Amino acid sequence: MKILSTAREMQAFSESLRNRGQKISFVPTMGYFHEGHLSLMREGKRLGDCLAISIYVNPTQFGQGEDLEKYPRDFERDSSLVEGVGVDVIFYPESTEMYPEYYQTYVTVEMVTQNLCGISRPGHFRGVATVCAKLFNIVKPHVAIFGKKDFQQLVTIKRMVQDLNMDLEITGMPIVRETDGLAMSSRNVYLKENERDSALSLSRSLKIAKKMYESGVKDAFAILAEVKKFIDGHPYAEIDYAKICETTTLRDIDRVERDAVLALAVKVNKTRLIDNYVFGDVLNI
């Protein structure tokens, strides 16, 4: 397994693979791996001849007062985990490599970043789109794999790739959960034991929504009312948003017909958790 830390080295490596007709798959990450990350990598392994991943805690997607400094990092653990999955190359840059002095170019994806996390985390998706555009230019993948856990991120990246005619395919993978239903996240390490039940209010409320939908309730407000009531009944849970949106535009909708997603962001004490359910999909809880 190769570990490359400069854009030039990575680009040269990818170019040589491309010249040999190899298909490059790519999983961008911020590290501190769990099964969710590894599931994307296994899919990447299946989709390409060479699997590249990146590990980079991207400062431009963190807002003031967010957890950039304390975001968990463990490169040794991560690299041994991914070696087991068969990753061929890790791109592991320093911030000076990604954002050198005088850096001033950013990618803004407009409408789909304006709702949900775009409201509570201003500038977040500008950072995400920018770093992904850069990583795509550096790694030159044929296909990149993202998790549906970060639903708005996946929609944003798909939009950017289409709008900017980027020559790669974007694939989304299902949310991987703990056995109790909690969506896996590197941030789950922040949760204390007494906060677990409140953290589970997200996935459990998705289950409530699914049940209502399947029993014929199509009114988004009725579903959201139950979801919010349930989450609010937990001592450490504070709802940032609970919304039902159209899956490609991410605009709020009143009726759950088809192509609708229930998206949640909830603060459990200081830990901000997200989760979602696309109506009609399987909910693996």
Residue ranges binding ligand AMP (CB under 6 A): 29-30, 36-37, 39-40, 146-147, 149-150, 173, 175-176, 183-186
Q: How many residues does the chain have?
A: 285
> Minimum distance between the CB of residue 128 and ligand AMP, rounded to whole angstroms?
9
Does the annotation count 142 as an active-site position? no
Q: Which of 14, 72, 78, 24 is nearest to 47 (CA)?
A: 24
Which is nearer to ligand AMP, 183 or 262 (by Cβ)?
A: 183
In the bound complex, which residue of the shown chain has the CB atom lying closest to ligand AMP?
Answer: 147
Q: How far is the CB of 96 from ligand AMP (least distance, A)?
A: 21
Minimum distance from residue 222 beta carbon to ligand AMP (Å): 28
166, 181, 203, 208, 262 from 214: Cα distances, Å: 38, 20, 17, 10, 14
| Of 36 and 48, CB closest to ligand AMP | 36
- Taking the alpha carbons at both ends of the chain, their separation in whole angstroms is 35
**Structure-block tokens of residue 132:** 């992904």
Q: Which is nearer to ligand AMP, 124 or 140 (CB)?
A: 124
Q: Which is catalytic among the residues 37, 124, 142, 234?
A: 37
Of 40 and 224, the one with the shorter C-beta distance to ligand AMP is 40
Long-range contacts of 41-45 (CB under 8 A, 24+ apart): 41/82, 41/85, 41/86, 41/87, 41/145, 42/85, 43/145, 43/171, 43/173, 44/143, 44/145, 45/85, 45/86
Kindly state the smallest distance separating residue 125's Cβ from ligand AMP, in Å.
Answer: 13
Active site members: 37
